[in-house]
Amino acid sequence: MKKILIKAYAQLNLGDDLFIKMLCERYKDTEFYLFATPEYENLKGIESNNLKILYNDTFAKKILFRLGRKFGISNILEDLKVKELDGVVNIGGSIFIENDFSKEDFKVRERNLELGKNYFVLGANFGPYKNETFKNMYHEFFKKCKDVCFRERYSYELFNDLENVRFGKDIVFSLKQNAVESEDYVVFSIILPSARPGFNGIESEYFNRLKALTLDIIKGGKKVKFMSFCQGERDEEAINRLLNMIPNEQHKYISKYFYRGDMSEALEVLSRADSVVATRFHAMILGFVLGKPVFPIAYSKKMTNVLEDLEFKQNFVSLENLQGLNYEKFTENEALSVNTILRAAQDGERHFLKLDEFLKS
């Protein structure tokens, strides 16, 4: 049995937690390890028993952690663990962004690669980045990896001179979910724009347009469910703010769902929705996969890049330009064709091509 360290955005974010779920369920004969906070005791919905959560919260571990940082090693516990494992799978979406933590993140990855040897990157997009130095740094890093599979053509083309770099559509396109009967509510996945760089100025318009769309949907005879994908990124705060803007007499048509680690429950909420208004990236992907009409509100190029790859011809808006976010445009959107989703699912499987060879050999 091979043993693998999962590197993921372990912050109880539904989209990233689904990556962990799909990885563990696909390779049931592999033992996976994930460093995470104690909140991950609440993670539910993985239909296999091969994930071991490692916590850094004991006194001895905290001492080791501090000693490591003193000598320039960000996570000595991870170093020690990687040495005894067969490889590392860095799985996630926006995991290669140039920001204040870029240098430290890069050092950790370099050490993982050096100590773990077999390093896989799955499901990511590259950027946004500002400096060619950042891109060149990762060009050298990716060259040494066992396999790198991006989730969009744009990121792939930045590194397509490397033989070990590939791309496929987002991993969640290949999620297998049983069909259930839809109910008469629309899911809104909502973010707090001011929690993200560069979006302070649009927050008022964003909430006002969501309020107007909510009231129009209720007037049209449907209920609304405001859904948080990640508490840590302040989705819940955004939902409560929006709800406070809506007249109390309309609250009986509105409910809230806060994701706190139960993936099965969250998927059930989305599966039973009539349609989806998606600001969250994976609300958009899951809406497509589950056969729902989706109205995307793109907050980054990663969303518009995916829509371009899908040749999506329906209505959507970006946070920079919200003018088309209205009831008329919302009602025009339809579910993607079964063939489009089938092709996307098959393409999503490409991320696992080389990992299949490594773990099933």
- Give 60-115 pLDDT, tens digit per residue: 445 555 555 554 555 677 888 899 999 999 999 999 999 988 988 898 899 999 88
How large is the average pLDDT for residues 168-185? 93
- The H-or-E segment that residue 213 falls in is helix 203-219
For residue 184, which phi and psi values (nearest 5 degrees)?
-90, 45
Percent of the chain with pLDDT over 90: 81
Task: Say whether both 37 and 146 belong to one domain.
Answer: yes
Task: Say whether both 33 and 163 belong to one domain.
Answer: yes
How large is the average pLDDT for residues 237-256? 98
- Give 203-229 pLDDT, tens digit per residue: 999 999 999 999 999 999 999 999 999
Q: Which range, 93-102, 299-308, 333-342, has the best average confidence (pLDDT)?
A: 333-342
Q: Confidence class of residue 38 from pLDDT cuts 50, 70 and 90?
A: confident
How large is the average pLDDT for residues 267-287? 98
Average pLDDT for the chain: 92
pTM of the model: 0.93
The residue range of the domain holding 245 is 185-343
Instruction: Give Cα 60 to chain centroid, integer Å.
Output: 32
For residue 17, being part of any structural domain is answered with: yes
Task: Say whether both 58 and 197 belong to one domain.
Answer: no
User: What is the model's pLDDT at position 280?
Assistant: 97
Percent of the chain with pLDDT over 70: 94
Of 167, 198, 228, which residue constitutes the final position of a domain?
167
pLDDT over threshold 70, residue 342: yes
Task: Say whether both 140 and 193 belong to one domain.
Answer: no
Task: Say whether both 296 and 214 belong to one domain.
Answer: yes
Q: Closest by alpha carbon to 87, among 2, 147, 1, 4?
A: 4
Task: Say whether both 215 and 126 belong to one domain.
Answer: no
For residue 65, being part of any structural domain is answered with: yes
Task: Say whether both 148 and 199 belong to one domain.
Answer: no
Task: Say whether both 116 and 216 belong to one domain.
Answer: no
- Give 15-36 pLDDT, tens digit per residue: 999 999 999 999 999 999 999 9
For residue 351, which phi and psi values (nearest 5 degrees)?
-60, -30
Strands of the sheet with 3-7, listed across from one edge: 51-54, 31-35, 3-7, 87-91, 119-124, 147-150, 165-167
Task: Say whether both 194 and 163 belong to one domain.
Answer: no
What's the structural domain count of the chain? 2
Task: Say whether both 196 and 163 belong to one domain.
Answer: no
For residue 198, being part of any structural domain is answered with: yes
For residue 349, being part of any structural domain is answered with: no
CATH number (domain holding residue 31):
3.40.50
Task: Say whether both 157 and 267 belong to one domain.
Answer: no
CATH number (domain holding residue 277):
3.40.50.2000
User: What is the model's pLDDT at position 58?
Assistant: 55
Task: Say whether both 77 and 202 belong to one domain.
Answer: no
